[in-house]
Amino acid sequence: MDSKFLKIRNDFPILNQKINNERLVYLDNAATSQKPQAVIDEIVRYYQNDNANTHRSVHTLGERATEEYEAARGKVQRFINAKESREIIFTQGTTDSLNLVASTYGEENISAGDEIVVSYMEHHSNLIPWQQLALRKHAILKYIELTNDGRLDMDDAQKKITDKTKVVAIAHVSNVLGVTNDIKKMAQIAHIHNAVMVIDGAQAVPNQPVDVQALDADFYAFSGHKMLGPMGIGVLYGKNNLLNKMSPYQYGGEMINFVEKYQSTWADIPWKFEAGTQNVAGAIGLGKAIDYLTEIGMQNIANYEQKLVEYALPKLLNIPEITVYGPHSPKLHNGVISFNLKGLHPHDLATALDMDGVAVRAGHHCAQPLMKYLNVVATARASFYIYNTVDDVDQLIYAIQDAKEFFKV
């Protein structure tokens, strides 16, 4: 493995601890990533030196905070190759970003009989807002089927997306099945029918290069906490022409131009979507996380994660009692691996793995329709990131074998 990545673990202070007297192996990165010391220090530095409200004060601290906040917006713009920084809206996270789109663009552009197309692999954050919008508007919610190995069925997508379709909302990377969807092709299909393409990028942005212009995304949402940044900060990218036509999502301070007794006018984008006091420290922390990831190189991160999958997936598949969901080819599978151990509930398995210092996720992963589609109640999930190593994989496999022996499965 790349020696540079073997040293990265040292940058994450939380990993320098033992869990149940075992070395901590953190494999719950699809839920949230750990934070490097550089990001922690940046957040502390802001609060110790520059804490002030942005865009409101002419004093030195206010000007510093505003400059750093807007500099973070510029870092996000360059990181995902948005055309301009005005297309970057800071939110609370992916969920907030997707609700913003559904509550503004969706509310204003969906009518009775219109179609909204999603897939069976969607996280609840990219399903429930559209489900509830369809109920309110008497629109039709359609699901794209999956192939036998858990990939998006592109032939079915061609059939489901029609001239009645107004929105196509798809995850870039599944948080359960370990697949990367052909978002560029999906956008092409959507645009042929004059539908907008909404992308849940929460599991993609941390692990691979993302170019929203190359993808031709109309909206793209992601969270800071899954990419080394703090919790409570997220991003919505939207094309300028779409954002300009949309009404504000929330009302209050800073999103206005003029307020009169009986009517108001709104600030320009992106500020009309950033009502109230923003998570300035979160945005600055996200900017520092972007600096950290950029120094490593997103393609290098993607390549490293692929090597971990090539090492881990065959080892899991070689355990007869293990069922892995999603493609069984490492080339088609990213660093999210969901699995079950025959005869043992995923929660019991996760508890057993924790006794050996291995942290994995267990449950429905906010994807209950997908669980029903797979005919399972829940799964265990191991998800890798830049500070994981082959030693972590070995400890995972050892812990699974240990659980098998303990529960006699």
Residues annotated as catalytic (active site), given as ranges: 366
Closest CA to 166 of 249, 107, 239: 107
Token pair listed for 344: 């043992």
CA distance 340 to 379: 6
Joined together, the tokens standing for residue 372 give 């029903």
d(CA 339, CA 383): 11
d(CA 339, CA 349): 10
List the one residue out of 109, 92, 132 whose CA is nearest residue 236.
92
Q: How many CB atoms lie within 10 A of CB 220?
A: 28
The amino acid present at 324, given as its one-letter code, is V
Strand partners for 258: 265
Contact between residue 316 and residue 324 where contact means Cβ atoms under 8 Å apart: yes
Rounded Cα–Cα distance for residues 205 and 224 (Å): 9
Three-state SS string across 309-365, please?
A: HHHHHHHHHCCCCEEEECCCCHHHCCCEEEEEECCCCHHHHHHHHHHCCEECEEECC
Q: Which residues pair with 264 in a beta bridge?
A: 259
Residue (of 378, 337, 93) closest to 224 by Cα position: 93
State how far the Cα of 170 lies from the Cα of 10, in Å rounded to an integer: 36
